[in-house]
Each structure stands twice: as structure tokens, then as C-alpha cells.
Amino acid sequence: MEIIAGFFNWIVFLVLLALGYFVGRWKEHAHYASIRKREAQYANVLAFAVRYPPDVVTPQDCRLVSGSVVISSDYFKQFVAGLRTLIGGQLSSYESLLDRARREATLRMKAEAQRFGSTLVINVKIESTTVSGGMRKGLPAMEVMTYGTALKPAAARAEPTG
């Protein structure tokens, strides 16, 4: 009986691992394709980490814009990362995860800036937090938020507010 239970546990583990590997890989691939497509789409919206706006004569309207995403790694990556921490070194499986999250958050910020009618976002800050779930300890979900100030020439405005 114990042998059957142990065997069943192994089966569940292997199925989760395979599911994580194949579905996770496919999803990462699809996400990267979508990121690249939208990065080309929002290429005209520039984002800089400079603190001060460029010296321009025309008055500018500004607004805080932000984008955020919570992203989680798959079962396979968690397993590989868990093994990797035994010997230490570079955890490349998590690197791509954070890279995706950061690019996605930046894209969402740019989308908001474009809706506001701006093509320039300055003073961009990127912030990451762990969002741990209640299920298990250390559910590796990361929240990445990008925010900045979108500027657009105030000429588009009907009357200046004082």
C-alpha cells in the first residue's frame, strides 16, 4: 500500500514537472512574442530615467502613469532553481521571468502614456516586490511596477488651468 502511495506521489510530481516544462515554455514563448510586438508598437513612446524635463519653451502637461504586472514562475523552473541553489550561481530560469515582468510593466506604462496623448515619459522608476501566496511558503510570484511622468505639450489643452 505504501509502495503504491509513493509511486502515485512520483507520478504526480513528474506530471507537474512535465506540465510546468511544456506549458511554461510555450507560455513564455508566446509572452515574449507579444512583448516584442508591442515594443515595436510603442516604439514612439520614449521612456527615460532622467529626473528633470528637457529644456523646452512650450509649457507641458504632465501626469503620473504606471504599469504593473504580477508574474509567477512555473513548476519546472522552481524545481530547477531549487536544485541550482545547492551549488549557487546564476539562476537563469528566474532571470527571464523578471525580464518578462519588467518589460511587460514598462509596456503597460507606455500604453497609459499613449492614451494620455504623450510620447515622452521621464523620471521612470521600476520597483519589484515579492507577492507571496498563502498556499505554500515562498510562492515565487513577483510584482513589478513601473511608473513615471508623462509629458505632452500643453497646446493641446483648451484653456490653461491656474
Partner 1 sequence: MANPLLQDKLLVSNLEIVPGRRVRTHLGMVQGSTVRSKHVGRDLLAGLKNIVGGELKGYTELMQEARDEATARMMAQAQSIGANAVLNVRYSATSITMGAAEILAYGTAVVLE
| List of residues 6+ apart from 140 with CB closer than 8 A | 72, 73, 78, 81, 94, 130
Interaction mask 14-53, partner 1, x per CB under 8 A: --x--xx--xx--xx--x-------------------xxx
Question: Is the distance from CB of 66 to CB of 112 less than 8 angstroms?
Answer: yes
Q: Does 62 bind partner 1 (CB under 8 A)?
A: yes
Q: CB of 23 within 8 A of CB of 74?
A: yes
Helix, strand, or coil here: 91? coil
Name the minimum Å distance from CB 155 to partner 1.
12
68 binds partner 1 (CB under 8 A): yes
User: Is 84 near partner 1 (CB under 8 A)?
Assistant: no
Is 154 within 8 Å of 60 (Cβ atoms)?
yes
Contacting partner 1 (CB under 8 A), which of 44, 88, 136, 155?
A: 136
Q: Does 82 bind partner 1 (CB under 8 A)?
A: no
User: Which residues are 143's β-sheet partners?
Assistant: 70, 129
The smaller minimum CB distance to partner 1, of residues 16 and 91, is found at: 16
Nearest distance in Å: CB 122, partner 1:
7
